[in-house]
Structure 1
Amino acid sequence: MANSKYEYVREFEQAEPLLKNTWIVVRIDGRGFHRLSTKYQFEKPNDKRALDLMNAAGAAVMNELPDLVLAYGISDEYSFVYHKDTTLFERRAAKLTSTIVSTFTSYYVFLWPQYFPDTPLLLGMMPTFDGRAVCYPTIGNLRDYLSWRQVDCHINNTYNTAFWTLILKGGMEAREAEQTLSGTNTGQKNEIMYTNGLNYNNELEIYKKGTVLYRDYELAHPIEGSSEILSSAVASTGTDTIASSLPEELSKTAQEKEKKSKRKAGVKAEHIDIIKDEFWQRRPWILSGRSGRLVGSVTTG
């Protein structure tokens, strides 16, 4: 950029670097999606086309940004996890967040016709997303965050499924359905659904557990002692005990090799429990941030 007398205005820019040695989670949320889902007549309580579109856009973001090690999506939100060692954009919050928001939105709009071929997008009702970046200092904190989002998925889906069962199958008005569900626990909601002809256990796992995206390397067997390591990582002390067992920082040449390997890896979408240790024990490369043996191809369904 050429020097000029106006260049001093750059001094007003704030770099906003995020804390080093922390896991960075960028969570994006749909803006005004209640109105959008009504306008485009999303199926209630869940529209699988809309969820598949979210997952396809999320997988595209993972492919674009090899520094991401995992993503988790429910409804109209997605959480993307940068490894604690990332130096992408010098860890500037605005850059990390805006890149994910813009990339996700671009793919969401571009892929829309594949999932809603008979429902074109209209000006004045375009899907948009906002985002924020949060740092988590330990693996335990990171896992607790992801567990929180999956528990929210279960709670919200149980309520919404029961609510719409009462309306669509029980013939109730919205206010009556709300009153019926007021103060009920999960078991009572399941009973209400069953009485109205729906067995919640038969609902798709994508609705009940959300979607986790990760790079698909060769599945590992649980590593010896990993249960103890993972358990201590989520202990109340918050100490990141896994840190000492992670590989040393790579040279720039090795980092480039890692990025190429990650770009070649397929991004796999699964609808499984990420709260228990088993998911993490069998996929140690996620927390290590290192690539494994490549298998399969890109899977977004």
Structure 2
Amino acid sequence: MVFIIKFVMKSVRKRFYELATYKFISHVVSQFSSSFVFYWKDFFKDQPLLFPPGFDGRVVLYPSDQNLRDYLSWRQADCHINNLYNTTFWALVHQGGLSNSKAEERLKGTVAGDKNEILFSEFNINYNTEPEMFRKGTVLIWQKVEVAIDKLIITPDTPDGRNAVVKRNRNKVLPLHVDIIGDGFWREHLEILADDS
């Protein structure tokens, strides 16, 4: 699994950047690592966590929005390349009966078309119909969503209070499994690169 934590900062004061960057990223990576372990069983109920995970992180200030888009596009393309390789590799091992080293040898020097052909002709797997979560990876974005909150309301008529449902707009992190290489994603989420984001 590859997890990428990406923070986009449009303007960062030089002093904050120099003094707080390493503290900031170490805190984020620490929080992510502890949450990963804490919530493991919620997502992988029957699979124990066999080894402690290790993560790294970086804070990068890109000079332009285009540089940022190019970087994120490259990361998504890299996710696709790695997943195609891994899907083919594990099909060769689990369904094809090859050892790990034999599967690796079989895939040495192959290109995407070769891997797609192996998957389809030998295992009846059409890679293009695999879930987008695996082909595209996961993009995390902040998005305003309406949240219903139970609230105790006390008035002179109801001194003990009464429960009411109140709706509020909140920013939540939403996972998306979409193409971010093309313009569609960026047109749909103009707020990501807006100056006031």
Contact persistence 1:273–1:279 (CA under 8 A): yes
Say which is worse superposed, 281-290 or 189-198, in terms of deviation: 281-290
Contact persistence 1:193–1:199 (CA under 8 A): yes
For 1:79 and 1:149, how far apart are their aligned partners in 2? 12
2:5 is matched with which residue: 73, 79, 88? Answer: 79
Contact persistence 1:165–1:196 (CA under 8 A): no
Normalised to the residue count of structure 1, the TM-score between the two structures is: 0.52
SS at match of 1:81: coil
2:180 is matched with which residue: 252, 274, 287? Answer: 274
Q: For 1:225-264, list aligned pairs within 5 A.
A: 264=170
1:130 partner letter: D
1:138-168: CA deviation from partner (whole Å, max 9, x where unpaired): 1111111111110110111111111111111
2:9 partner letter: H
Change (3 A) 1:103 1:189: same
Q: Quick check: which has more Rg, 1 or 2?
A: 2
For 1:116 and 1:101, how far apart are their aligned partners in 2? 21
Normalised to the residue count of structure 2, the TM-score between the two structures is: 0.77
1:109 is matched with which residue: 37, 54, 70? Answer: 37
| Alignment partner, residue 162 of structure 2 | none
SS at match of 1:266: strand
Structure 1 ranges of 4+ moved more than 6 A: none
For 1:115 and 1:155, how far apart are their aligned partners in 2? 25
Change (3 A) 1:110 1:144: same
Q: For 1:1-301, list aligned pairs within 5 A.
A: 75-86=1-12, 90-91=16-17, 92-121=20-49, 125-197=51-123, 198-217=125-144, 264-288=170-194, 290=196
The Cα of 1:128 is off from its aligned counterpart by 2.9
The Cα of 1:192 is off from its aligned counterpart by 0.5
Identity of aligned residues (%): 46
RMSD: 2.4
Count how many residue pairs are aligned between Structure 1 and Structure 2. 171
1:29-77: CA deviation from partner (whole Å, max 9, x where unpaired): xxxxxxxxxxxxxxxxxxxxxxxxxxxxxxxxxxxxxxxxxxxxxx333
1:158 partner letter: L
For 1:119 and 1:168, how far apart are their aligned partners in 2? 18
For 1:211 and 1:139, how far apart are their aligned partners in 2? 20
The Cα of 1:114 is off from its aligned counterpart by 1.1
1:179 partner letter: E
Unaligned runs of 5+ in 2: 146-168
Change (3 A) 1:214 1:289: farther
The Cα of 1:106 is off from its aligned counterpart by 2.1
SS at match of 2:58: strand
Change (3 A) 1:111 1:164: same
The Cα of 1:120 is off from its aligned counterpart by 4.9
